[in-house]
Homo-oligomer: A and B are copies of this chain.
Amino acid sequence: MIGEILATGDEVRSGALVDSNSAHIAQKLEEAGVAVTRHTCVGDDHAVLVAALREIGDRADVAVVTGGLGPTEDDLSTAAAAVAAEVSLEFYNQAMQEIERFFKNRKRLMSDSNRKQAFLPKGSVMLSNPIGSAPGFSLTIGKCTFFFLPGVPVEMKKMLAEQVLPRLPRVSPEHRTLCLIRTLSTFGLPEAATGERLSGLSDLFPGIKLGLRAKFPEIQIKLYAYGKEDQNLQEALEKASAWVTERLGKCIVSMDGSSMEAVIGRLLLERNAAVAVAESCTGGLISHRLTNIPGSSDYFLLSAVTYSNASKISVLGVSPETIDQFGAVHEETAKEMALGVKRISGADYGLSTTGIAGPDGGSPEKPVGTVCIGLASPQGVFSKKLHFSFGSRLMHKKIFAQSAMDILRMNILYGWPEKNA
């Protein structure tokens, strides 16, 4: 079964926005056994949209279109779909009810222009959008079943999973190639080194394809197993995962693609332990990430984002002499920050960062990209200085935060590093 993807909108066409929707849709369609052969992107231009829909209708069996379902004048997908399918637009009562319910639930006033969103091509099937005002729809154009979804990624993803994938034409087993994917998250080795450690995988495990994906600052390892028999593929994946884990050791953060913050959350919950953070150069990012996990209030107590020296002293109790003698960016200061936040919060673990994210503030001894990470645990206190040189302030914040969280993860799992014990 041949699939295509059409992204619409002037932001994407003109390059103002990178289209990440199409990659997500391609992955999900391929997992469902659809062979995605082409993605297309066009702007908010009625004639171009109609032409693209007709071409895809001639080539593909199934297609997913994103964008252009909103209430404004430049949202043209619904009208273009009707023209391409040679049907009229019809008022869908069911769509109107969904839109009204959406606004009522949010206690927001519905605008007149939202009424436009209840007009769908005649003969189409409405697709519910539980988290946005624009319902989608499914419609046949040419020989192809089209699914029209909003361009907002969170709405698109939910509707793809709940409304599109279950509706895909069933592929008969003999024509169906299964693709199972296993994602492992790693941190601490560069992409090239990770690739080298895993070279030979395809010889050892024929039928397993390896994909490395730098999802800064993580490296994700994807193992793809293609074949006909679910059971055999599962087994092959298990064996290949075990081999990868052995090759990469402690750099494996999770065997199921879970994020660092999710892994730390699980580790703390299992131990009935709590963490507090003292952040300087990471500016709240560690705290933001830890609290993205539902239920994190069970183990996350406090983060003190102490940007100024004065607040390091007054809030965390860092000694002014330490800062005078060593400076704010130093292992000793990081230790006192970690101990301070552990003490004032009553947490089992206190984690700290102090460094220079840039672009300014560097010096020859402490260049931009320097970070000192402190960890106070039930077993004592430890700190470590690291240096990175990425191009941007935000990348530095991200690698600093990830490095600090990895030190916490390693300590919980493996205790202190021998050299620094």
Interface residues of A (CB under 8 A from B): 10-20, 22-28, 30, 36-45, 48, 52, 70-74, 105-114, 130-131, 133, 152, 154, 158, 179, 181, 190-193, 195-196, 199, 202, 209-214, 216, 222, 224, 276-277, 279, 283-288, 290-292, 294-297, 300-308, 310-311, 314-315, 344-346, 357-361, 387-395, 397
Interchain nearest-CB distance for A317 vs B (Å): 12
Contact of A389 among B105, B304, B389 (CB under 8 A): B105
CB of A190 within 8 A of CB of B23, answer no
Nearest-neighbour CB distance to chain B for A344, whole angstroms, equals: 6
Most central of A15, A17, A292, A297 by chain B CB within 10 Å: A15
* 6 chain-A/chain-B pairs, Cβ below 8 angstroms: A15-B24, A15-B36, A17-B23, A72-B192, A111-B196, A308-B345
- Of all chain B residues, the one with the shortest Cβ separation from A181 is B16
A112, B300: Cα distance in complex, Å: 43
Given contacts A15-B24, A37-B48, A389-B106, contact A308 B315 (CB under 8 A): no
**A73 contacts B210, C-beta separation under 8 Å:** yes
Bound form: Cα–Cα A291–B304 in Å: 14
Q: Which of B74, B305, B395 contacts A287 (CB 8 A)?
A: B305
CB-CB nearest in chain B for A306: B302
A351 to chain B, nearest CB (A): 13
Is the CB–CB distance between B301 and A307 below 8 Å? yes
Contact present for A113 and B214 (CB under 8 Å): no
Decide if B27 touches A23 in the complex (CB within 8 Å). Answer: no
Nearest 8 A/B pairs, CB to CB: A283-B291, A284-B287, A15-B26, A284-B284, A15-B27, A72-B195, A303-B305, A15-B23
Could you say which residues of chain B place their CB within 8 Å of the CB of A24? 15
